Amino acid sequence: MVEGDIVAKWTVPLQDKVYRIEFEHGTTTGKRVIRVDGKEILRRDWMFKLVGKEPFQLGKMKCLITVEALGTFAYEYSLEVNGKNYEKFREEQSKKLLCWETRIGVRSVCNERKGKDFGELERKRTDSDQQYTP
């Protein structure tokens, strides 16, 4: 894979984990490749139409990558998750999840909001620690 072929990247926080999506688009051949967490889930090597939509699943969520022309040789790439644009979906998820992205080795971490103790990472609880309740 040539790094220059990746034209868009998104991180999608869901209940079980944070997914990393990469999209490759060959602007002369129409080639399209979708990877989720580094695993290729869709490949179309030769497409006559350079713009269009590519549906795929992310767990139980329906996703759609749209390729639109912005002029003669420029393209815009957008992601929808469950019928919502990426920004709106992330905004709604942030209300449901307390989610941050951190790397531990090669894994992303996503924490739920429901009654978790904050400030307890391999140390004893102190009086200054607080319990978060939504």
Domain assignment present for 54 = yes
pLDDT in tens, 10-59: 999 888 888 999 999 988 888 899 999 999 999 998 777 888 999 999 98
In a domain, 93, yes or no: no
Per-residue confidence (pLDDT) for residue 108, from 0 to 100: 60
* 124 domain residue, yes or no: no
Instruction: Report pLDDT digits (tens) over 83-97.
Output: 999 999 998 888 777
The range of the structural domain enclosing residue 16 comes to 3-85
Contacts (Cβ under 8 Å, ≥6 apart) of 99: 13, 18, 93, 110, 111
Residue-wise pLDDT for 66-118, tens only, equals 999 998 888 999 999 999 999 999 988 887 776 455 667 766 665 555 544 44
CATH of the domain at 45: 2.40.128.180
Please indicate, yes or no, if residue 67 is contained in any of the structural domains: yes
Radius of gyration of the chain (CA): 19
Instruction: Provide the domain count of the chain.
Output: 1
**Does some domain include residue 111?**
no
